[in-house]
Amino acid sequence: CPALLQEVWRVRPKLHVFGHVHWGQGRQTVHFDDCQRAYEALMSRPPRGLFRDLFPHAGWRDALAVLGYGIHGVVWKWLMVGPGGNTSSLMVNAAQMYGNTGRLGNPVEVVDL
């Protein structure tokens, strides 16, 4: 949902809990930075097909940006000169559907704040 994604970027909550009855659950830390923005741009592109994705297109630029920002972030933190800013959020998908079985059964997600 593009509107929800835009609102999450605007608010930048420390914790965002969401869920559906259908498949998919877990948690992930996201960072509100250029790497996250490039990753979201890459993932929002429609697939062009296995063969066509092998040839250069705009998605490659996004993938290289994610790689570059990722390497920069790791090296920056490794040198311990990077900002210690509080720019992350914990996203929790509390969906209860176990795989695609049609049965509820995923474990409960517990978050300590």
Which tens digits make up the pLDDT trace of 39-82? Answer: 999 988 888 888 877 787 888 899 999 999 989 888 877 776 65
105, containing H or E segment: none
pTM: 0.65
Residue with tokens 């066509």: 52
Tell me what percent of the residues of the chain surpass a pLDDT of 70.
Answer: 90
Using one digit for the tens of pLDDT, what is the confidence trace for 73-94? 888 777 766 555 567 889 898 8
Domain boundaries, the chain: 2-93
Assigned token pair, 105: 């059964």
Compute the C-alpha angle 52/56/57, nearest 5°: 85
Whole-number pLDDT of residue 65: 94
Cα distances from 76 to residues 28, 67, 83, in angstroms, run 21, 14, 8
For all residues of the chain together, what is the average pLDDT? 82
Whole-number pLDDT of residue 80: 67
